[in-house]
Structure 1
Amino acid sequence: MPDPATPRPSRPTLAEYRAIAQPPEVRSRRSAEHWVADLYLRDISPYVSRPLVRLGLSANAVTGLMILSGWFAAGSLLVPGLVGVVLAVLFGQLQMLLDCADGEVARWRGTLSPAGTFLDKIGHYTTESLIPIALGVRAAGGLPEMSDHYGWTTLGALLAVVILLNKSLNDFVHVSRAFSGLPRVPDSAEAAAPRPGLVARLRRLARFVPFHRLYHSVELTLFALVAAVVDLLAGDAWGGLAGTRTLVVVLLPLAMLAVVGHFLAIMASSRLRAPTP
């Protein structure tokens, strides 16, 4: 982490700012970057985070904005029609942009902290549970129709629980190692790789059909947009919500399969093995 006592130029050039805010080791971490960050958001984020630094915002304040944008993404799904899902997609992208920016602000100021990590997890966990709940409400026909379609809201809530469980498994690994007095597991493909065997072969196959990656806020909002377009094209089929209802029905069993696969991959890896004396 950069030393907060090291002087920083008051008006850094973009190159000076990137050197500290986006060091190579950050972008090379195995699980640090979402694909949209690699694709384009990291190219944009310094143009957002650098002005925020000049405005005096702390990294935690930027994380707070990230949390709110995620909640707005979920809330937008309650707006009927394409307008709601388009807003959800935009807020989902904004959340990821701010997720890049808060770390950059923290590295520039030298203020990386457990509180920042805690708030970051609050943002992602709450957003990625609220979105499927909102999808369930949308599949029920919206808030006015909920009382007649509790089955869809129940499916949305179940999907939220399964997604939370899947997200929690990696945190369970860190907690279990800490309770056993072990250091943090390295964030590398080698540490996460299962031992040779059936699980390792299945994991390699899963790379060709990466359904386990469908449950981030970015993917969920993009699929909601596709489903809303299908709703329009399908007309009155399935209550005018054929796409959205199909999406909820398909996502739930795939999420359960992702949890099982994630659990087996962790158990078959070296992450929970005690070191040999």
Structure 2
Amino acid sequence: MNAEREATPEAVVCSGLNYAFGETKAVDGLDLSVSAGECFGLLGPNGAGKTTAIRCVTTLLPVPPGMVTVFGHDPAKEKMAVRRLLGYVPQQLSADGGLTGRENVSLFARVFDVSRRERAARVTQALEAVDLTDAADRLAKTYSGGMVRRLELAQALVSAPRLLMLDEPTIGLDPIARTSVWEHINAVRKATGMTVLVTTHYMDEADQYCDRVALMHKGTIRALGTPEQLRTELRERRADGSAPTLEDVFRDVAGSGLDEGGDFRDVRSTRRTASRVG
């Protein structure tokens, strides 16, 4: 068992990852390692570089060889091999309201090159995994916000990914819907051993569901560890020894950046997504 674990490459490794938009450096020498099978949270204020880093890993943004590997594959050299390992739920909505739930998932099955012979069964399995079987043949525009997010999760799961990438998967959802989405993510993870890499602004989600978290600010990692480790480290630095929350750790790392991160496009994109699933 130990030999097998040692032989399994890390799910994601970023080594000195840099990415800039013009003169604006979004990711600045990012070093990050995500172990196979874990749920890893990438946290930080708007503009910290989280989504850019995610897009580099998913091959949506090009990076030079040697900066990123996914289960040992370099996206710069093996783009299609990496894509076959991934499921991706972006922050922006990816479901088509004019299609049924089943049609949306079938479309993603074709995009991810699921064989015609396996396609129908895979679509059914993905819908079952997120508890959308009864609503599968309704138009997606009739779904609630939580159902839409679960549909997008089914779209990402239809290719049976080894690595599921989630960019703000519960944005705009009420607490009950957020819990439902995470219950389905964890059920699939438990059944398959899938690795999950998630960005979220909800500190309670990161605290409850992530094995480890990295707090990112201005393109670099400022703190890394289990939620408990990060809370303990901050408590030990406090004069009164009071117990902090993960949100306290987040504020301690990001400082004034909480009010300064992102730009107009970030705000507009986030509000559009939240309004469509709310």
Tell me the TM-score normalized by structure 2: 0.26
Greater helix share, 1 or 2?
A: 1
Q: Computing the radius of gyration over CA atoms, which structure comes out larger, 1 or 2?
A: 1
Name which structure has the greater RCO, CA cutoff 8 Å, separation 6+. Answer: 2
Tell me the TM-score normalized by structure 1: 0.26
